[in-house]
């Protein structure tokens, strides 16, 4: 065996050894080494708005790096816990979600549901993401001292806009099941199926706190005093 052959064999052996060493090092770092992840300093109850002061960094096996846990304290900001978070343990991403996603709307708005009748709510075809106006329709009060009004005169009504351009964040049928969209029904029909569209009878709205009492009062009047609550699609 000449020197050239020996040199080539030696070079190959060195390359193989380096490759094996590099692979072994990476495997060791992956399986044995640690890195830092955020964990709660103390137990955090469910439905708590999270902030950076509630967490500290803690050493964990690097194998967790590819798992669906929050990897930085900053990523936990503006989140809300959906379950109790134990102290000292990493936080799974499904256990803390953005406030808007959890509440269906931004924290500046109250979220409430109201019953509607399809005939007075755009035929029950309102969709999530649309904006609506709410009107209250009441009979005009008759002045008992006004003798000029005959009992045969038609009743007149007063229409009042009580809330406008309200964001719809959820729609349900009377049983509380998510109402299907028109598009889904059209798709069913296109493939020979019968339309399965559910009429909306429960609207969930994101409203400013100052108009909540107006809306709830209008709902109560429509149920107890014969008034009407009418919903229209707002102008774009």
pLDDT tens digits, 35-79 = 899 999 999 998 898 999 999 999 998 888 889 999 999 999 989
Note the pLDDT of residue 5.
Answer: 73
Q: Sorting pLDDT into bands at 50, 70 and 90, what band is 96?
A: very high
Note the pLDDT of residue 185.
Answer: 45
Tell whether 150 is covered by a domain.
Answer: yes
Q: Is 9 exposed, middle or buried (0-12, 13-18, 19+ CB in 10 A)?
A: exposed
Tokens of 166: 């309200």
Tell whether 6 is covered by a domain.
Answer: no
What single string gives the DSSP state of each residue in 117-133? -GGGBGGG---TT-EEE
Helices and strands (H and E) in the chain: how many: 4, 9
Percent pLDDT > 70 in the chain is 81
Looking at the structure of the chain, the number of domains it has is 2
Q: Average pLDDT for residues 114-121, to the nearest whole number?
A: 91
CATH number of the domain to which 70 belongs: 3.90.1210.10
Residues 200 and 135 in one domain: yes
Tell whether 12 is covered by a domain.
Answer: no
Q: Where are the alpha helices (DSSP H) in the chain?
A: 3-31, 99-103, 182-190, 212-224
Mean pLDDT of the chain: 82
Q: Map residue 178 onto helix, strand or coil.
A: strand
Q: Which of 102, 129, 144 is the last residue of a domain?
A: 102
Q: Sorting pLDDT into bands at 50, 70 and 90, what band is 188?
A: very low
Domain carrying residue 61: 34-102
Residues 125 and 68 in one domain: no
Q: What does DSSP assign to residue 188? A: H
Contact in structure between 202 and 171 (CB atoms under 8 Å): yes
Evaluate if residue 181 carries a pLDDT over 50.
Answer: no
What single string gives the DSSP state of each residue in 61-87? EGGGGGSSB--SSGGGTTEEESS-B-T
Q: Sorting pLDDT into bands at 50, 70 and 90, what band is 81?
A: very high
Residue 203 β-bridge partners: 114, 171
Note the pLDDT of residue 32.
Answer: 62
Evaluate if residue 95 carries a pLDDT over 90.
Answer: yes
Taking alpha carbons only, the member of 161, 175, 179 closest to residue 229 is: 161
Residues 128 and 201 in one domain: yes
Could you tell me the pTM of the whole model?
A: 0.57
Note the pLDDT of residue 74.
Answer: 94
Note the pLDDT of residue 217.
Answer: 93
Q: Rounded to whole angstroms, how far apart are CA atoms 147 and 155?
A: 15
First to last CA, the chain: 87
Percent pLDDT > 90 in the chain is 44
């Amino acid at each position: 065996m000449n020197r050239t052959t020996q040199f080539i064999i030696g070079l190959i052996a060195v390359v193989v050894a380096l490759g094996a060493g590099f692979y072994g090092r990476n495997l060791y770092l992956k399986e044995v080494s640690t890195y830092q992840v955020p964990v709660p300093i103390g137990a955090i109850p469910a439905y708590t708005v999270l902030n950076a002061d509630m967490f500290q960094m803690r050493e964990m096996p690097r194998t967790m790096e590819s798992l669906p846990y929050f990897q930085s304290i900053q990523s936990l900001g503006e989140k809300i816990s959906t379950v109790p978070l134990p102290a000292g343990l990493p936080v799974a991403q499904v256990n803390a979600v953005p406030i808007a996603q959890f509440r269906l709307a931004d924290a500046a708005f109250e979220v409430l549901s109201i019953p509607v009748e399809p005939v007075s709510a755009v035929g029950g075809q309102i969709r999530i993401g649309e904006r609506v106006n709410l009107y209250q329709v009441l009979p005009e009060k008759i002045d008992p001292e006004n003798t000029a009004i005959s009992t045969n005169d038609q009743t007149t009504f007063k229409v009042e806009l009580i809330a406008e351009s309200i964001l719809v964040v959820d729609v349900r049928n009377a049983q509380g099941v998510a109402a299907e969209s028109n598009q889904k029904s059209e798709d069913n029909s296109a493939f020979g199926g019968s339309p399965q569209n559910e009429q909306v009878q429960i609207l969930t709205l994101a409203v400013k706190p100052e108009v909540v009492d107006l809306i709830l009062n209008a709902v109560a009047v429509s149920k107890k005093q014969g008034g009407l609550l009418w919903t229209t699609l707002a102008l774009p």
